Amino acid sequence: MAVSDPQSDNIIEVHGLSNVFGEQVIHEGLDLEVRRGEILGVVGGSGTGKSVLMRSIIGLQTPDAGDVRVFDVPVRSAKEAQMQAIRKRWGILFQGAALFSTLTVAENVQVPLREFYPRLSDRMLDEIAAYKIVMVGLPGDAGPKYPAELSGGMKKRAGIARALALDPELLFLDEPTAGLDPIGAAAFDQLILDLRERLGLTVFLITHDLDTLHAICDRVAVLADRKVVAVGTIPELLALDHAWIQEYFRGPRGRAAEEAVEAEEARNELAAQGSADD
Ligand SMILES: Nc1ncnc2c1ncn2[C@@H]1O[C@H](COP(=O)(O)OP(=O)(O)OP(=O)(O)O)[C@@H](O)[C@H]1O
């Protein structure tokens, strides 16, 4: 049930993916393409295999069948040097930010730099970390703090700073707004949008957050029945006769998220009219 036309300029291509754990078939013949420059939301019920899909794409999970290409490199058969080269081109925010608790924020940001560029001087490492920390909207004095001293939203921002350490082209985000209050979540959505604009990122975003889907995703991929059953804009998905999609987007939470976006658009329109009248 692919809704949008396929495009050739894909950063990620997944074809015929299967993942099986014992008796449990998670994916069977799953296809997905992620286009350069888009924010693709990935949704699906709990346990449908969103995180397993992400792990298959980044090479942390060896699938039972299928092809996965990232930056045109076949992840399953790539040599270690090829994988190293593409790992430099992506950044990952795992669920819960996954910061090293014994390292400061600045040291966390420096982890990928030390791994991929072991000859960087301490001064350069400090400068890059300070730059990334400010880039994600953390206060300048956040660098020497430990994760335990940060709020949930700040931890996520620190995780993003680390994911951006190597100036990636592609960002993987696994439930980035989970656990944030609605205001913190909206601010985080805005940060992702800003970063995409400023850095030209492509974003693979796993989320349950309907507000996030409405606010920042160009397209949404729906996981159900062991595969991606549909990919498209939210209006395209709403036009489909699929029970889970209808329930998810048209349920009370889905409608509230839709209304919030409509209200925001109306406010922006009024503001634009106001400034045109001045
Ligand atoms: N290494 C593994 N070994 C065995 N089973 C696994 C493994 N990894 C994941 N699973 C199982 O695969 C299924 C899908 O897991 P996954 O974490 O991808 O779901 P999800 O869609 O991300 O869920 P949620 O929305 O709750 O985070 C789950 O039933 C999980 O228990």
Domain count, the chain: 1
| The predicted structure's pLDDT at residue 278 | 65
Structure tokens at 123: 């001064």
Task: Tell me the C-alpha distance between 121 and 228, whole Å.
Answer: 45
Residue 151 lies in a domain: no
Distance 38 CA to ligand 1 centre (A): 25
| The predicted structure's pLDDT at residue 176 | 86
Nearest CA to ligand 1 atom 30: 47
CB 48 within 8 A of CB 9: no
| The predicted structure's pLDDT at residue 177 | 84
Distance 19 CA to ligand 1 centre (A): 10
Residue 185 lies in a domain: no
Residue 233 lies in a domain: yes
pTM value is 0.88
For residue 230, the domain's CATH number is: 3.40.50.300
Residue 229 lies in a domain: yes
Nearest CA to ligand 1 atom 31: 47
CB 156 within 8 A of CB 180: yes
Exposed/middle/buried for residue 11 (C-beta within 10 Å: 0-12, 13-18, 19+): buried
Residue 221 lies in a domain: yes
Residue 274 lies in a domain: yes
| Concatenated DSSP letters of 27-88 | EEEEEEEEETT-EEEEEESTTSSHHHHHHHHTTSS--SEEEEEETTEETTT--HHHHHHHHT
Residue 258 lies in a domain: yes
Q: Which domain range does residue 46 map to?
A: 6-83+209-278
Residue 79 lies in a domain: yes
pLDDT per position in the chain (278 positions), as tens?
444 444 458 999 999 999 999 999 999 999 999 999 999 999 999 889 999 999 999 999 999 999 999 999 999 889 999 999 999 999 999 887 788 999 999 999 999 999 999 999 999 999 999 999 998 889 989 999 999 999 888 898 999 999 999 999 999 999 988 888 888 888 889 989 999 999 999 999 999 888 899 899 999 999 999 999 999 999 999 999 998 898 888 877 766 777 777 777 777 777 777 766 66
Distance 47 CA to ligand 1 centre (A): 5
